[in-house]
Chains A and B, each alone.
Chain A
Amino acid sequence: MTTRIVELRQGILKKNDELARELRERFTRAGVLVVNLVSSPGTGKTALLERTLRELQSRGQRAAALVGDLETDNDARRLAASGAPVRQINTHGICHLEAEMVGRHLDGWELGGLDYLFIENVGNLVCPSSYDLGEKIRVALLSVTEGEDKPLKYPTLFNSVDVAVITKTDLAQACVFDRSAALRNLNEIRPGIRIFETSAKTGAGMRDWLDYLCAQRSVALAQG
């Protein structure tokens, strides 16, 4: 027996990447801006999204959401109260969303009738970084209650995002949150990252975040 080396040079997540590319083309054709929200559990993805969906709708924008969790449809029910179309993706143990799950949950939705689609990933700061979902913008959330060094502890994820949203700023003082350290750490791991600071409870910082989304959609439409 002789051993022969066969070069493959093939991405391990090739299937996911191909599906994600197809989804991205589909989203671009439909003119829908797709945003993938990632963070640890309890950072406030759903709270930010509840407010974002409501406020986009009051600006006359059409937004929908897919929300990923291992189990329960609690988040989908919370988000659906905004009046936006929402679907729950239950992964039953899988720690991240994959492009195939996103594609499957779009069945029957007229994407051309949407301006924004938010994908709330499974709460996890490791695994979602490897999986492209066809999004235009990947956003990491970091709450003031988690500590300023999260970006240093989870560099693989924070380095993969376009935007960071610091959430729960209404609690910053009580948590003795070191804002400048958080901003510095984000920039150290993802130089030039766009950062927003919000409180979904008080509404602080929401206008900048929403203005950013609207501007990104205009840019995407102009490019598409």
Chain B
Amino acid sequence: MHELSIVQSIVDSVTESLARYPGACVVEVRLRVGALAAVAEDSLQFCYGIAIEGTALAGSRLAVRHLPVVMHCARCARDVTLEGVQSFRCPDCGELLGEMRQGRELEIESIGIEEAPAGIPAGIGDQP
């Protein structure tokens, strides 16, 4: 159960990024999570609800995009997507695969922010 530490890192990173958008509030945080990232979405969502209270992220939604494991198969000379994480064999030729292309991602892809309408000084400096 390290999801609370992970969520705390998300809150810290987003709060840091938000400094570039004064007056803006966060409505959504989008994550990319690989099948081998060792985090459970239920726990993430549960911890997220707790961790965002009293922060600039309060009331925002957490959207998780799950990414399957993609390995390179030298025999087939192409990247192949695995159905699960119970076997690291090429689904086409059966070769055991060691070269990973995707699957360990644990990233904040983007945030959705709401900014004050034009004309209100809070919008100043909203360029990254």
Contact = CB atoms under 8 A, between A and B. Distances in A.
Chain A partners chain B? yes
Interface in B29-43: 31, 36-39
Q: Is the interface of A mostly helix, strand, loop or mixed?
A: mixed
Interface residues of B, number: 41
Contact of A6 (B36, B88, B96, B113): B113
Interface in A149-171: 152, 155-157, 159-160
Contacts of B128: 6
B119 interface: no
B2 A95 contact: yes
A213 interface: no
B106 A130 contact: yes
Contact of A8 (B36, B109, B114): B109
B9 interface: yes
B108 interface: yes
B76 to A, nearest CB: 15
A5 interface: yes
Contacts, number: 112
Q: Is the interface of B mostly helix, strand, loop or mixed?
A: mixed
B86 to A, nearest CB: 6
Given A1-B117, A12-B31, A13-B9, A7 B89 contact: no
Nearest to B12: A15
Interface string A57-71: 000000000000000
B6 A4 contact: no
A62 B37 CA distance: 35
Interface of A: 1-16, 94-96, 98, 126-127, 129-130, 152, 155-157, 159-160, 187-192
Interface of B: 1-2, 5-6, 9-10, 12-14, 17, 21, 24, 27-28, 31, 36-39, 85-89, 96-98, 104, 106-117, 128
